[in-house]
Chain A
Amino acid sequence: MLIFERSRAGRSCSAQLPATVEGRSEIPARYLRAKPPLLPECSELDVVRHYTGLSQKNFSIDTHFYPLGSCTMKYNPRACNALAMLPPFLARHPAAPDDTGQGFLACLYELQEILKQVTGMAAVSLAPLAGAQGEFTGVAMIRAYHDARGDSARREILVPDAAHGTNPASAAMCGYAVREIATDAEGNVDLAALKAAVGPHTAGLMLTNPSTLGVFERHILEMERIVHEAGGLLYYDGANLNAILGKAKPGDMGFDAIHINLHKTFSTPHGGGGPGAGPVGVNARLAPFLPLPLLGERKGEYRLLDEADRPQSIGRLGAQLGNAGVLLRAYIYARLLGPQGMRRVAEFSTLNANYLMAQLRNAGFEIAFPRRRASHEFIVTLRRLKEETGVTALDVAKRLLDKGFHAPTIYFPLLVPECLLIEPTETESKQTLDAFAAAMTEILAEARSDPQLLKTAPHTTPVHRLDDVKAARILDLSWSPGAA
Chain B
Amino acid sequence: MTTPKELKYTKSHEWVKAEPDGTVTVGITFHAQEQLGDVVFIQPPEVGRRLKQGDECAVIESVKAAADLYAPVSGEVVAVNQEVSDKPERVNQDPYAAWMFRLKPSAPAELETLLDAAGYEKVAAEDKH
Asked whether, in the complex, the Cβ of A472 is within 8 Å of the Cβ of B129, the reply is: no
In terms of DSSP, what is the predominant structure of the interface of chain B?
A: loop
Q: Does A26 contact B (CB under 8 A)?
A: no
Residue A468 at the B interface, CB < 8 A? yes
* Separation of A472 and B66 alpha carbons in the complex (Å): 12
Q: Which of B31-72 contact A (CB under 8 A)?
A: 37-38, 40-41, 61-64
> In the complex, are the beta carbons of B40 and A473 less than 8 A apart?
yes
Beta-carbon nearest neighbor of A474 in chain B? B40
B92, closest chain A residue (CB): A469
In whole angstroms, how far apart are the Cα atoms of A417 and B129 in the complex? 8
**Residue pair B129, A473 in contact (C-beta under 8 Å):** no
Give the residue name and chain of the B residue nearest to A417 (CB): B129
Closest to B129 in A: A417
Smallest Cβ distance from B25 to chain A, in angstroms? Answer: 23
Tally of chain A residues near chain B (CB < 8 A): 6
Whole-angstrom distance between the Cβ of A183 and the nearest chain B Cβ: 14
A462-484 interface code vs B (CB 8 A; 1 in, 0 out):
00000011001100000000000
A469 touches B40 (CB 8 A): yes
Question: A473 to chain B: which residues have CB within 8 Å?
Answer: 40-41, 88-89
Closest to B41 in A: A472
Q: Which residue of B lies closest to A468 (CB)?
A: B63
Q: Which chain B residues lie closer than 8 Å to A472 at the CB level? A: 40-41, 61, 63
A411 to B65, CA, bound (A): 12
Nearest-Cβ distance from residue B127 to partner chain A, whole angstroms:
13
Interface set, chain A 280-317, CB cutoff 8 A to B: none
Closest A residue to B61 using CB positions: A472
CB distance from B19 to the nearest CB of A (A): 29
Residue of A nearest to B63 (CB): A468
Q: Which A406-465 residues sit within 8 Å CB-CB of chain B?
A: 411, 417
A-B contact pairs, 16 of them (CB 8 A): A411-B64, A417-B129, A468-B63, A469-B37, A469-B38, A469-B40, A469-B62, A469-B63, A472-B40, A472-B41, A472-B61, A472-B63, A473-B40, A473-B41, A473-B88, A473-B89
**Chain A residues in the interface with B (C-beta under 8 A):** 411, 417, 468-469, 472-473
